[in-house]
Amino acid sequence: MNGYTPQADFGTPEVSADTVVTLTIDGRAVTVPAGSSVMRAAAECGGSIPKLCASDNLAAFGSCRLCLVEVEGMRGTPASCTTPAADGMVVHTQTPRLQKLRRGVMELYISDHPLDCLTCSANNDCELQDQAAAVGLRDVRYGYEGASHLGAEADTSNPYFDFDPSKCIVCSRCVRACDEVQGTFALTIDGRGFASQVSAGQAGDDFLSSECVSCGACVQACPTATLQEKAVKQIGLPERAVVTTCAYCGVGCTFRAEMRGQQLVRMVPWKDGKANRGHSCVKGRFAWGYAHHQDRITSPMIRDSVDQPWRIVGWDEALDYTASKLAAIKAQHGARALGGITSSRCTNEETFLVQKLVRAGFGSNNVDTCARVCHSPTGYGLKTTFGTSAGTQDFDSVMDADVIMVIGANPTDAHPVFASRMKRRLRKGAKLIVIDPRRIDLVHSPHVEAAHHLALQPGTNVAVLTALAHVIVSEGLADEAFIRERCDWDEYQDWARFVADARHSPEALEPVTRVPAGELRAAARLFATGGNGAIYYGLGVTEHSQGSSTVMAIANLAMATGNIGRRGVGVNPLRGQNNVQGACDMGSFPHELSGYRHISDAGVRALFEGDWGVTLDPEPGLRIPNMLDAALDGSFRALYIQGEDILQSDPNTHHVAAGLAAMELVIVHDLFLNETANYAHVFLPGSTFLEKNGTFTNAERRIQPVRKVMEPANGLEDWQVTQALANALGLDWNYTHPSEILDEIARLTPTFAGVSWERLELDGSLQWPVNADHPDGSPIMHEAGFVRGKGKFVVTDYVPTDEKTGPRFPLLLTTGRILSQYNVGAQTRRTANSIWHGEDVLEIHASDAENRGIGDGDWVRLTSRTGETTLRADVTDRVAPGVVYTTFHHPATQANVVTTEYSDWATNCPEYKVTAVQVSLSNGPSEWQEEYADLTARARRIAAEAAE
């Protein structure tokens, strides 16, 4: 196919070994790491041994009998996939005997395979077809009249791929991919001998009703059209492929966008991707249909007030209108009345430009980003303790961990591809400690069982971590040698005295944390003595009134046990959105410029002022919640929001709505008329990740290219829109490609000094810091010493949240995510993923449900002191009595109507994880839901439609 090359497959996995062996294959000498298979060795030297059941992301299976070889001095014809290469071995892969055997094997396969190649969706992309040609198959002596599977019915239940058992050769690659790569164990081979067939789940299940998570690993592994993307059937095979980076979670999977003209056929995980190593999840693999969804707006629109319908205008009119409004507000109310929000879904270059527009164009530091509501405490906590605002490891590091502690994170749902890596390590024997109010899937899933699940009371993270530290210090389990060498010893002693105090013992804190003291002590001992200890955490850590304290407590724990600065250990924030790390790196916070340098630093300011030709405000700007507060008092009046939906994502929806409604000018730059756009005066259409060039930075600090695979539907990439707005304001920006913005970032940001588009093209990706000290990047940080010099122990006293339960609101609500939906759902709700999660539901324990007369599936009213909504109940023991849980993916539910304005003391990150609520049976939507539905219908009118 023109421009399309399948990904190389070496047959069996790459082996890492200290020694090598040299063998001869078909007369050619080849040297490979000891332990490599003969098949791998042959592929390494450019040879190709026929195969069907082998793939280099799966353990050798030795089933298909097609890869037979002859080895001098060895009897028979061993399978090359299961035969280890040995020194001096002489191998022949093409002999008359082997050809005869292989043809015989292939005849058997083909005798039970439909001969419909010309009309098959995999025609020209089928390994069975390729191997039939490779072995020289010319006829099938057995005929086609005998028993066969050709009449087997296809399973089309999955929205993204079909399973056609009539084409199955029972090579087990799909089953093994589900087991070894994904770790779900949803598939099996049912039956024996001729009756063997691939089966999803239990008898009677189809793919949709089974435990399959639609990661696509089985589809990728299938050598025939048995498991095939529906899109390939509809569109045809791709004709070119472009490597790019996924725009969903912070794992940052690399994909090949496989195209047919301007049409995306499929996203296939790239095997050379260093974050995902060839794996994917249901979102990145399949849920890209939103890019051409009918709801997408591709023309600019304006209106003078939000009660008017939108008016479609050209770019010039929209930008002139916006610029004149901004200028007028600035003239009347000053620069500090203007601000902007950068997007964690946009590229580094786009984010950098938005914050530059705010600082250099608007003239204020009122710029913030959605990390405010997720990982801002990570930035504060890790900068304070280690000296830099980022995780310490690469994802590969988990394969060297002996004890994995997961705190307030649900990787199988929120970071599924990394979760599969973690599960692979756990299946090999690493121990798992889960600290979470809910029984997340990792606690108990196929072949994974947590050694300890500390099901703490929401809001008591700091108390639990202090209790863990208490055990480690008081039982003499701290790594004093590490601490003396790498940390400030005096600060450690202060901290050690604090945590060793009897009031911080697990027993003393058990009434607060509700974690059994014995279980907690055992977990502490395991973490301190079990070998390499790695901590992974998520928003269950940060989204609390003590989010920053919890991050610092985690850092304390890692330092106290010497678990920093090498593979297999570390402190690893699992970032929510694809470019949260990058948005933070790019200077999106109101108090700091790119590279986490404070705006009050005159030297740093001078660097930017010299480059940009402006004078910068030396004072920190407003954070998002402060912007909304200031809007209500009239001192903040205009907001440019790129790629975020704060009305749905931020806490206390009523307050957010009031703040937005109070502004004179709200500019929404997005793909869709999102919830925030209900209060907007200007809508600037955005471009998807498929339509732009740039870079994303994932949770392991890996900077990866995003490559344009199709032209923007709106005509402009997002950085071009921001540049056009800047120029309408009188700035003189002339970037012609994001690489030029990246050069500016590198010029102004020491940790990015060695990053360029050319380097990324060459290396594929780079992990910052990339500079003179780390020319090839930094997979592991703090190896020789902490960025700040000595690691800083910070005393983190437990301060209970002010959000209290009581007679009116006796339950604690905690919120989170689900696998098939992403953040506010703007993208995933516009895909077939909604088949798995069409609405938010409320998890409630059976005892709490029983007390309220609530049955599974009943409509219930969820009420807090800030608001109420209704949704269906899911009665479960996944949550503890007294705790309820829901997601925030659907605006019709709008879980944030209920959440409060309590926030982290250091960063104002909202306390989404603790809201006192009451739950009762409901017979209809809440008053707010009805009002909001009306408001949305009015706010989304577009003039042409309104005139009809």
Partner 1 sequence: MEIERLVYMANQIGRNLATEDNPAAATADHIRLFWDPRMKAAIAAHFVAGGEGLDAVVRDALTGS
Show the site string, 684-723: x = touches partner 1 by CB under 8 A, - = not.
----------------------------------------
Beta strand spans in 186-239 (E): 187-190, 197-200, 227-229
* Count of other CB atoms within 10 angstroms of residue 730: 9
Closest distance of CB 621 from partner 1, Å: 6
The conformational region for residue 853 under phi > 0 = left, psi -120 to 50 = alpha, else beta, is: left
Among 351, 393, 549, 823, binds partner 1 (CB under 8 A): 549
Site residues (CB under 8 A) for partner 1, limited to 585-624: 590-591, 598, 600, 619-622
Sign of CA dihedral 62, 68, 72, 73: positive
Q: For the chain, give me the number of helices (H) and strands (E)?
A: 30, 36
Q: Is 254 or 626 the residue whose CB approaches partner 1 more closely?
A: 626
- Euclidean distance between CA atoms 915 and 903, whole angstroms: 11
Q: Is 552 or 746 the residue whose CB approaches partner 1 more closely?
A: 552
Cα-Cα-Cα-Cα torsion 98, 103, 104, 105, nearest 10 degrees, comes to 90
Q: Is 413 or 617 the residue whose CB approaches partner 1 more closely?
A: 617
State the SS3 of 815-855.
EECCCCCCCCCCCHHHCHHHHCCCCCEEEECHHHHHHCCCC
Cα-Cα-Cα-Cα torsion 926, 930, 935, 937, nearest 10 degrees, comes to 140
Closest distance of CB 388 from partner 1, Å: 17
Q: Is 600 or 847 the residue whose CB approaches partner 1 more closely?
A: 600
- Euclidean distance between CA atoms 570 and 532, whole angstroms: 9
Binding-residue total with partner 1 (CB under 8 A):
30
Site membership for partner 1, residue 626 (CB under 8 A): yes
Q: Are 368 and 903 in contact (CB under 8 A)?
A: no
Q: Using the rule CB under 8 A, give the single segment among 103-111, 196-204, 629-637, 928-936 that binds partner 1.
A: 629-637
Site membership for partner 1, residue 185 (CB under 8 A): no
Closest distance of CB 473 from partner 1, Å: 16
Closest distance of CB 797 from partner 1, Å: 5
Q: Is 6 or 334 the residue whose CB approaches partner 1 more closely?
A: 334
Closest distance of CB 369 from partner 1, Å: 15
Among 546, 550, 563, 900, binds partner 1 (CB under 8 A): 546
- Euclidean distance between CA atoms 91 and 23, whole angstroms: 8
- Euclidean distance between CA atoms 209 and 354, whole angstroms: 44
Q: Is 628 or 753 the residue whose CB approaches partner 1 more closely?
A: 628
Site membership for partner 1, residue 336 (CB under 8 A): yes
Q: Is 527 or 793 the residue whose CB approaches partner 1 more closely?
A: 793
Q: Are 720 and 705 in contact (CB under 8 A)?
A: no
Burial (Cβ within 10 Å: 0-12, 13-18, ≥19) of residue 201: middle
Site membership for partner 1, residue 555 (CB under 8 A): no
Q: Are 337 and 638 in contact (CB under 8 A)?
A: yes
Q: Using the rule CB under 8 A, give the single segment among 170-178, 198-206, 628-636, 745-753 that binds partner 1.
A: 628-636
Q: Is 380 or 696 the residue whose CB approaches partner 1 more closely?
A: 380
Q: Is 106 or 906 the residue whose CB approaches partner 1 more closely?
A: 906
Site residues (CB under 8 A) for partner 1, limited to 492-521: 498
Show the site string, 348-367: x = touches partner 1 by CB under 8 A, - = not.
-----------------xx-
Among 18, 139, 633, 732, binds partner 1 (CB under 8 A): 633
| Pairing relationship of beta strands 868-875 and 859-863 according to DSSP bridges | antiparallel
Site membership for partner 1, residue 333 (CB under 8 A): no
Q: What are phi and psi of 417, to 5 degrees?
A: -70, -40
Q: Is 26 or 491 the residue whose CB approaches partner 1 more closely?
A: 491
The closest of 444, 405, 663, 422 to 534, measured between CA atoms, is: 405
Show the site string, 781-820: x = touches partner 1 by CB under 8 A, - = not.
--------------xxx-x---------------------
Rg (CA), the chain: 29
Site membership for partner 1, residue 630 (CB under 8 A): yes
Show the site string, 876-915: x = touches partner 1 by CB under 8 A, - = not.
-------------------------x---xxxx-------
CB environment 395-410: b (16+ within 10 A), e (fewer): bbbbebbbbbbbbbbb
Alpha carbon of 447 to those of 209, 406, 407, 434: distances in Å?
21, 17, 20, 16
Site membership for partner 1, residue 531 (CB under 8 A): no
Structural tokens at position 228: 């095939």
User: Largest Cα–Cα distance in the chain?
Assistant: 91
Binding site for partner 1 (CB under 8 A): 336, 365-366, 498, 545-546, 549, 590-591, 598, 600, 619-622, 626, 629-630, 632-633, 635, 795-797, 799, 901, 905-908
